[in-house]
Structure 1
Amino acid sequence: MPLSTPVARKEMHTRIVTCKGYLREDDLWDIEGHMVDTKPYRFENIDRGGHIEAEEPLHGMWIRLTINDRMIVQDAEASIDFSPYNHCPKINPDYKKLIGLSMGLGWNKQVRTLFRGTAGCTHLTELLGPMATTAFQTVFSGRNEGRKVEGKAEMGIKPKERPALLNSCHSYAPTSPVILRHWPDYYEGDEDL
């Protein structure tokens, strides 16, 4: 169901974030994030020759993280194709600091600590949030496709092991019919669903 009809309005800014996950031939995973900001009008900008045209990217940024099956970052690369200042791309090499971090619990906090304030690019750092959920979806779906992952069960979860997804969102609440269907040992709701 779409959103309700808005009041009359004028578009002022568009941000497009695209995240993709890939299984590499060396059995590692690449997670790529791309962000583009545009405006529907021309505006002044000294570093870009005096102005930025309407619909020309104000920001155009990429990050690629290579991770293993445990979602530990093995390599990191950042690239800024478009930015409002010529100085912005100088931060790209600093994103190598992500190597060795786990994209699991605490990821966003670690990222905010590493790249707080002048230690990072606000937009590259923001991109790392949706990349983490993309990584989870990529690795989890790869496991579900029957790929053997470091000796784990086909679904990535042993039958009596507490599901990692438990309490992670509304549908994974212990009282949800989703938990009853997939992990009945962890279901805490009304059995009469």
Structure 2
Amino acid sequence: MPPAHPSITRRPLHRRALDVQVFARDDGLFDVEASLSDTKSHDVPLAGSTRKAGDPIHEMQLQLTVDAQLTITAAASDTRWMPYAPACGEHGDAYARLVGLNLMKGFRQAVTDRLGGTQGCTHITELCQILPTAVIQALAGSVIDTREGDAAGNPPYQLDRCHALRRDSATVAQFYPRWHLSAAPASTAS
């Protein structure tokens, strides 16, 4: 992506990298491995020492196991690089509180309720927020039916969840005609 102001010289300061990988297991479950890392392009003083350029400020991982309905059956976290060692990593098994949550049903708010603020690590809790769409994307078309909807007659999950897939859009009319909603007719004044 080109810079917003191409005539201005820029220098990198900070990079946050997020990574989510999803694996199918032989037992029908799915493992989710998510990570967050922060690095600086320059040395920075940090908690009484100096963190060298390129060494992580943060490097955290979250591992989940989910079933085909996207309910979390196991969860754990690991903090490998942190600014305030060992305190940053001393949240114990706080992320085990994710077990029982469903990625498609109120997950983000439940994470905030269970792990927001001082109940967990700010960065791992933020990492949780990207998991629903990442896991849905991983399972779309194979585990999650993205064409026909569910057994109760509801439309596919992704419809009405973004601008392009509004049920009254041309995209839905073309690719999901069964689920397309025509625009409501204009009312006529009498």
TM-score (normalizing by structure 1): 0.84
1:38 Cα deviation after fit = 0.4
Matches within 5 A, 1:15-164: 15-46=16-47, 50-86=49-85, 87-143=87-143, 157-158=149-150, 160-164=153-157
Say what the alpha-carbon RMSD is for the aligned residues.
2.2
Q: Give distance in 1, aligned partners of 2:130 and 2:111.
A: 12
1:182 Cα deviation after fit = 3.5
Partner of 1:174: 167
1:154 Cα deviation after fit = 9.1
Q: Give distance in 2, aligned partners of 1:5 and 1:92.
A: 45
Q: Deviations over 1:16-42 (max 9, x none)?
A: 111111111111011111111001111
Cα pair distance change 1:27/1:154, threshold 3 Å: farther
Are positions 1:184 and 2:185 aligned together?
no
Cα pair distance change 1:59/1:156, threshold 3 Å: farther
Contact 1:60/1:81 (8 A) holds in 2: yes
TM-score (normalizing by structure 2): 0.85
Partner of 1:149: none
Q: Give distance in 1, aligned partners of 2:57 and 2:4.
A: 30
Cα pair distance change 1:89/1:171, threshold 3 Å: same
Contact 1:143/1:154 (8 A) holds in 2: no
Contact 1:32/1:131 (8 A) holds in 2: no
- The 3-state SS of whatever aligns with 1:133 is helix
How many residues align? The count is 180
Q: Give distance in 2, aligned partners of 1:162 and 1:34.
A: 32
Q: Give distance in 2, aligned partners of 1:67 and 1:122.
A: 23
1:140 Cα deviation after fit = 2.0
Cα pair distance change 1:58/1:170, threshold 3 Å: same
Partner of 2:188: none
Q: Give distance in 2, aligned partners of 1:154 and 1:11.
A: 40
Report sequence identity in percent.
26
Contact 2:73/2:100 (8 A) holds in 1: yes
Q: Give distance in 2, aligned partners of 1:97 and 1:143.
A: 25
Contact 1:143/1:156 (8 A) holds in 2: no
Could you tell me which runs of 5 or more consecutive residues in structure 1 were left unpaired when the two chains were aligned: 145-152
- The 3-state SS of whatever aligns with 2:118 is helix
* Between 93-102 and 165-174, the greater mean CA deviation after superposition: 165-174
Q: Which has the higher contact order (CA 8 A, sep 6+)?
A: 1
Report the structure, 1 or 2, having the larger helix content. 1
Partner of 1:147: none
Equivalent AA in structure 2 for residue 51 of structure 1? T
